Amino acid sequence: MSNIPINGFPEFIRETTYDIAELTQAPLALIASSLISAMSLACQGLIKVRVNDNLEYNTSIFSLVIANSGERKTSVDRMVLAPFYQRDRIKLAKSDEMKSVHDARLRAWGEREKGILSQIRKRTVKGECTAALSDALVELQLEKPFLPKMNKLIYNNTTPEALQYAMYHQGSHIGLIADEGANILDRKVMSEFSFINSMWDGVPFSVERKTSPSFTIVNGRITLSVMVQKKTFDLYLRRQGEKARGSGFFARCLIVNIDEQLSTQGERYIDERPKNSHYLALFHKKINEILNEKDLQVELSSEKILSFTPAALYEWQNIYNLIESRIGPDERYANMNDFASKLANNVVRLSALLSYFTQGDRTIEKEHIESAWLICEWYMDQAINLFGYEDGYYEALLLSWLHREYSRRNVRIKYNDIRRYGPNVLRKGKLLDKVVSNLEKENVIEIDFSFQGARMVCRGRNFRDNTFTKNPVFEYY
């Protein structure tokens, strides 16, 4: 798998990626995913994108990075998200001060309430009128001190109940961030898919309580950034994988697996030369500017609506149609309909982030759509590598083609003929090798060689009766 197309990012973001890579020697794909999450966390709740009169999207991004120990996950996370962590520390310190003041004011207010209630009780016993006191009690309720919202930005080790409560009472635009994803994946919050998916969709979410007041989170936004080791991710797949994919959670994520091809381990040598962090400093400055702008915008209770230039809209429509054309049974996104259905949406979100981060609230240009598509298409290929080979789909597709060809020719089929004339989705890359190997292991086919040394594909013992013939795609040819 080729590395993430860094050249697809605007120069500012690209150079920031290189700065961090020089400082940490971490994989570029890991760094880029973290930068995308930072832009999402800064901008969500501040901007939305209106594609046309019927389509309007928020800009929250879900990111899932699978990377084993030693890939510098924590170093990158702390470096990229430093402004958010610093902001939360300052808010926490102020919150402790405000809580002390709030508690004192609340006690004083409580004494005033007790005094009015005491007078109401006395007059009620005497049968006297309490209307004036009741009015005073109502006015007093309007003066009850409330603890100012902390608006904490980053959460990790939490439950869905605690997170929902915090989003309603403290701040509805948050980041669910973990550089060691077991803190999130092992908790119930990552099994509450209706809640997580609703936040990505930007729809209200109602929380029903038996022992406390119910409430509804309106205009909630979550940036999800989970970095997790492969073993932990595999355990999560066994527990929740079917439910997570069936709910559409995985399809909403930009997923990357830092395998041996993307890893930088074995290439990280000591270099005493001074490291450049100029663009990283500018990135942090931009984050803080956007967060300050967002604080003002939240007070105004409104979001900026970005739109496309005509050229950008035309480009996005072409991308949308291209994605649709790749969903067929013998196309690139076969068996990935769920991911493909969210891909154009993620292109919109990422294009808005790249645009706003580099040029403010101007109209989104065609170049930003092209950049977002290049990057999202790469993430889609990563998702195919992780999820596209499930359920024997490609094995059944090839077997369907082989059945048709054997009925036509009744001879052994050259392996290279499959490369040239077989299912389109199997003609390039290493997928065909993997599919043929799986069929051979199940004795569905056998591999032989001609006198000239050409590899030949022959019928195996289980050619006509196997698990793959029961897959619906077996009927394709």
The two tokens of residue 267 are: 């290439």
Across 221-248, average pLDDT: 89
Q: Rounded to an integer, what distance in angstroms lies between the CA atom of residue 339 and that of residue 321?
A: 15
- Greatest mean pLDDT range, 233-247, 310-324, 454-468: 310-324
Mean pLDDT of 340-365: 96
Query: Is 409 exposed, middle or buried (CB count within 10 Å of its CB: 0-12, 13-18, 19+)?
Result: exposed
Pairwise CA distance, residues 112 & 118, whole Å: 10
The full length of the chain comes to 477
CA distance 347 to 197: 17
Angle between the 11-24 and 73-80 helix axes, to the nearest 10 degrees? 130
Q: Which band of pLDDT confidence, cut at 50, 70 and 90, is reported for residue 289?
A: very high
| pLDDT for 265 | 85
- Residue 147 confidence (pLDDT): 67
Confidence grade of residue 2 (pLDDT, cut at 50, 70, 90) = confident
Among 47, 40, 42, 36, smallest CA distance to 13 is for: 36
DSSP state string for 126-190: HT---HHHHHHHHHHHHT---PPP----EE-S--HHHHHHHHHHT-SEEEEEESSTHHHHTSGGG
Band of the pLDDT at 183, cuts 50, 70, 90?
low
- With pLDDT > 90 as the criterion, what percentage of the chain qualifies? 53
Q: The tokens 């990057």 sit on which residue?
A: 375
What's the burial of 201, exposed, middle or buried (CB within 10 Å: 0-12/13-18/19+)? middle
Is residue 313 pLDDT above 70, yes or no?
yes
| Residue 91: predicted pLDDT | 84
Q: Please state whether beta strands 445-449 and 205-207 pair in parallel, antiparallel, or not at all (unpaired).
A: unpaired
How high is the mean pLDDT of the chain? 89
> Burial, 430: exposed, middle or buried (Cβ in 10 Å; 0-12, 13-18, 19+)?
exposed
Quick count: other Cβ atoms within 10 Å of Cβ 400? 21
Return the SS3 of 226. Answer: strand
Q: Specify which of 188-197, 231-240, 398-407 reaches the highest per-range mean pLDDT.
A: 398-407
Half-sphere exposure of 414 (CA within 13 A, CB side): 10
Angle at CA 294, nearest 5°, toward 168 and 283? Answer: 120
Model confidence at 200: pLDDT above 80: yes
What 3-state class would DSSP assign to 466?
coil
> Given this model, what pLDDT does residue 443 score?
94
How far is Cα 182 from Cα 230, in angstroms, rounded to an integer?
11
Q: Which of 168, 105, 170 lies closest to 140, judged by CA?
A: 105
pLDDT greater at residue 98 or residue 352: 352
Alpha carbon distances (Å) from 406 to 10, 399, 401: 51, 10, 9
- State yes or no: pLDDT of 96 exceeds 80: no
pLDDT for residue 298: 60
Residue with the larger pLDDT of the pair 184 and 278: 278
- Give the pLDDT of residue 272: 67
Question: What is the reported pLDDT for 103?
Answer: 78
What angle in degrees, to the nearest 10, is found between the helix axes of 11-24 and 278-300? 120
pLDDT of residue 235: 87
Q: Where does the pLDDT of residue 328 fall: very low under 50, low under 70, confident under 90, or very high at 90 and above?
A: confident
Distances (CA, A) of 386 to 196, 258, 335, 379: 21, 11, 12, 11
What's the confidence (pLDDT) of residue 300?
53
Task: Express each pLDDT in 234-244 by its tens digit.
Answer: 888 888 888 88
Q: How confident is the model at residue 268 (pLDDT cuts 50, 70, 90)?
A: confident
Q: State the Cα–Cα distance between residues 30 and 258, nearest whole angstrom.
A: 7
Only one residue has tokens 């500018």, namely 282
